[in-house]
């Protein structure tokens, strides 16, 4: 016979069981890792704000440290996020990379997928968004045809 202490009242469970606390040190590890991979200025030019700290903590509550690190590395596989888009703007800030579970998963999968590097080149006049869509199709079925 098993007894689940919180089966009848999940909202009465201690907060540590519902959402584990993330240590300050672990947040610092992720922040330093992001700085190592995406900081374009000196490390002292970036501030670990409350908003950034909160986003990192949320990510670490959902995923192990290695998955969060893989997402930080994986964003480099996206032409769009790396600035090869119609605005020429990079989207590599830590809040964007760790926006939500689906975004973290997508970037982590890109880093872990060995077949991710796509040999396709953009067509003349093709938008960055269309190119990204075509690359995703290539990864899925191996063709990348329009």
Please report the beta strands in the chain, taking only residues with DSSP state E, as ranges in sequence order: none
Q: Do 94 and 47 touch, CB atoms closer than 8 A?
A: no
How far is Cα 22 from Cα 3, in angstroms, rounded to an integer?
28
Per-residue confidence in pLDDT tens, the chain, 146 aa = 444 443 443 333 343 433 467 888 999 999 999 999 998 888 889 999 999 999 999 999 999 999 999 999 999 988 889 888 899 999 999 999 999 999 999 999 988 774 445 667 778 888 888 887 887 776 665 544 44
Give the chain's length. Answer: 146
């Amino acid at each position: 016979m098993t007894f689940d202490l919180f089966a009848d009242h999940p909202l009465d469970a201690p907060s540590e069981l519902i959402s584990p606390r993330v240590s300050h040190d672990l947040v610092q590890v992720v922040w330093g890792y992001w700085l190592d991979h995406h900081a374009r200025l000196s490390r002292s030019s970036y501030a670990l704000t409350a908003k950034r700290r909160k986003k990192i903590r949320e990510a670490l509550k959902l995923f192990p440290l290695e998955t969060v690190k893989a997402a930080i590395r994986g964003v480099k596989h996206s032409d769009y996020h790396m600035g090869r888009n119609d605005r020429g703007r990079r989207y590599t800030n830590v809040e964007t990379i760790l926006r939500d579970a689906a975004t973290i998963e997508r970037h982590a999968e890109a880093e872990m997928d060995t077949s991710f590097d796509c040999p396709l080149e953009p067509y003349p006049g093709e938008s960055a968004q269309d190119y990204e869509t075509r690359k995703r199709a290539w990864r899925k079925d191996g063709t990348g045809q329009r």
